[in-house]
Amino acid sequence: MKQHENKLTEGSNMFWESHRIILPEHKEMMNHYQKERNRKTKPVLAEEEVNVISQQLSDSMLSESEVTVELFRSFGQNKFISGVITKFDTQLRQIKFEYEGEYEWIKFDEIVGVG
């Protein structure tokens, strides 16, 4: 029984096999697909966990004490930053966070933990 050979690699087609190209839009699509395969989904926090995090953030702001906040990242490792909360914006659902001499607004939805 004869083994099946790939039609692109048999006989005179060997020349064409060595000249295959990937169009830029195909390469971009493959890169996008690979990146999306590695995307993490954000954990859904229970209402109790959200309340505990809110209380810790509030306590940190009132006492002007440093707190470490864990921020969810879809790709790679979550980000941990330590600093002091200087302001709550409940309407926009974010906090103003001071760390390393810089200020940054952080959305509540990004926060998955406080320590």
pLDDT digits (tens, 9 = 90+) for 23-75: 788 788 887 777 777 778 888 889 999 899 999 999 989 999 999 999 998 88
pLDDT score recorded for residue 102? 92
- Domain hosting 62: range is 47-114
Instruction: Let me know if residue 30 belongs to a domain.
Output: no
Instruction: Let me know if residue 17 belongs to a domain.
Output: no
Predicted structure pTM score: 0.64
Confidence of residue 14 (pLDDT cuts 50, 70, 90): low
Q: How many structural domains are present in the chain?
A: 1
Instruction: Let me know if residue 81 belongs to a domain.
Output: yes
Tell me, what CATH number does 97's domain have? 2.30.30.100
State the average pLDDT over residues 3-31.
65
Nearest to 74 by CA among 36, 108, 109, 46: 36
Instruction: Let me know if residue 53 belongs to a domain.
Output: yes
Residues 6+ apart with CB under 8 A from 53: 45, 111, 113, 114
Instruction: Let me know if residue 25 belongs to a domain.
Output: no
